[in-house]
Amino acid sequence: MEEFVLMKGNEAIAEAAIRAGTDGYFGYPITPQSEVIEYLAAAKPHERTGMVLLQAESEVAAINMLYGGAGAGKKVMTSSSSPGISLMQEGISYIAGSELPCLLVNVVRGGPGLGTIQPSQSDYFQSTKGGGHGDYNLIVLAPASVQEMADFVSLGYDLAFKYRNPVMIQTDGALGQMMEKVKFKPQQPRSKKSPDWATTGKTPDRERIIITSLDLDPSRQERFNEKLQVKYRTIKENEVRYEKIQCDDAEYLFVAYGTSSRICQKSMQMAREEGIKVGLFRPITLWPFPYNEIREMAGQVEGMLSVEMSAGQMVEDVRLAVEATVKVDHYGRMGGIIPSSEEIVEALKQKIIGG
């Protein structure tokens, strides 16, 4: 029986990575997520499971090491923060275009540019709408606790291998740096078998395997794109995840994920003490986004406030979901500022109830 331990979110991701049977971690240090690679380095994963750990010369190199390892059929992951994730976008596009599984962690900090090292959610567009070039989607998981930071590592691998698609855990500096109690799953053995699509050396019993995203013939490339879109539709139908908190009697709704959803829970308690019946809808998968489930809530509530640590990115998806049937507004702080629970209650009153 595993017991609870106290751990930072970043450390929990690292420990969970070893236990999930990760074959290789390739990364480059950047605040506020360097604890991931530091924890791994101290934990001697090679002795525990044979897991490979390599500090690359750049995020660009790291994501391409992932591409190589993923093409070899292995469970590979990296972690970084916003500017580093920007550097990885080319590689992420190649991985998606070559239909390879891998796990990416973005511990988001405020931008644009070098920005700040404080927490932010301003990479929502980048994670959910593309990021790199071409028609592709990542599966994006948004944990809201240290326990979920750990749990989403193995969930992420399961989804990545099920769909042969990169999965991103999108979190932020607050969840990465905070400690909560967490219970880990038992150690999973590293897989000894290679998937049949992996480059492991051409044996006489099979055709050679080529991992590529290149096809110079437009009609073949279009057929491939259509195949990808079929896959994405399947993911949309089967993998939407969300949590509804005190939504049954809600007359108003907060829509928030990750750290913002935690703060909104407190705002919800405060508002309810004043007699305002507000619920919280927390998307867990940012892609695929729970459009249908939010649309259902539009019939029940009088307004929705999307609370994000950004200028308002997810709010566009909330608006898309409700198709103008109910009032939707956004409240957020930027630049690494975390909104207070009090501010959010005030915003609800001004923008949704009184507005």
Partner 1 sequence: MTEEIIIAGFGGQGVLSMGKILCYSGVMEGQEVSWMPAYGPEMRGGTANVTVILSDNKISSPILDTFDTAIILNQQSMDKFESAVKPGGLLIYDGNGITRHPEREDINIYRIDAAEEATKMGSTKTFNMIVLGGYLKVKKLYKLESVIKGLKKSLPERYHHMIPVNEKAIHRGLEIIKEVATVN
Partner 2 sequence: MAENAITTKELIKKENLVYQKTKLLTDDVMHYCPGCGHGTTHRLIAEIIEEMGIQSEIIGVAPVGCSVLMYNYMNIDMQEAAHGRAPAVATGIKRLLPEKYVFTYQGDGDLAAIGTAETIHACNRGENITIIFINNGIYGMTGGQMAPTTLVGMKSSTTPYGREVSQMGNPIKMTDLVANLPGTYFVSRQSVHTPGNVRKTKKAIRKAFEYQALNKGTCFVEVVSNCPSGWKMTPLESNKWLAENMLPFYPLGDMKVPEQ
Partners of residue 252 on adjacent β-strands: 278, 303
Tell me the C-alpha distance between 51 and 14, whole Å. 12
Q: Closer CB to partner 2, residue 74 or residue 262? A: 74
Q: Determine contact, residues 258/171, Cβ cutoff 8 Å.
A: yes
Q: Closer CB to partner 1, residue 32 or residue 97? A: 32
Minimum gap (Å) between residue 118 Cβ and partner 1:
6
Minimum gap (Å) between residue 6 Cβ and partner 1:
5
Q: Which of 299, 254, 296, 260 is nearest to 279 (CA)?
A: 254
Site map (CB under 8 A) of partner 1, residues 252-291, x = contact: -------x--xx-xxxxx----------------------
117 binds, among partner 1, partner 2, none (CB under 5 to 8 A by kind): partner 1
Structure tokens at 81: 């923060």
Angle at the Cα of 173 from the Cα atoms of 158 and 33, rounded to 5 degrees: 65
Minimum gap (Å) between residue 341 Cβ and partner 1:
6
Tokens 């990115």 belong to which residue? 313
The answer to whether the Cα torsion of 154, 156, 160, 162 is positive or negative is positive
Sheet of 139-141, strand order: 52-55, 24-27, 76-80, 102-108, 166-172, 139-141, 285-287
The answer to whether the Cα torsion of 263, 264, 268, 271 is positive or negative is positive
54 binds, among partner 1, partner 2, none (CB under 5 to 8 A by kind): partner 2
* Residues near partner 2, by CB under 8 A: 23-24, 26, 52, 54, 56-58, 60-62, 64-72, 74, 76, 90-91, 94, 98, 199-204, 208-214
332 binds partner 1 (CB under 8 A): no
Question: CB-hemisphere CA count at 13 Å for 11?
Answer: 14
Backbone angles phi, psi at 136, to 5 degrees: -150, 165
Minimum gap (Å) between residue 19 Cβ and partner 1:
19
Minimum gap (Å) between residue 122 Cβ and partner 1:
17
Amino acid in position 186:
P
Q: Closer CB to partner 1, residue 183 or residue 233? A: 183
Q: Which of 81, 83, 128, 133 is nearest to 108 (CA)?
A: 81
Q: Closer CB to partner 1, residue 127 or residue 177? A: 177
Minimum gap (Å) between residue 180 Cβ and partner 1:
5
Q: Closer CB to partner 1, residue 236 or residue 266? A: 266
Which residue from 41, 114, 179, 230 is in contact with partner 1, where contact means CB under 8 A?
179
> What residues line the site for partner 1 (CB under 8 A)?
4-6, 31-32, 117-118, 173-174, 177-181, 259, 262-263, 265-269, 338, 340-342
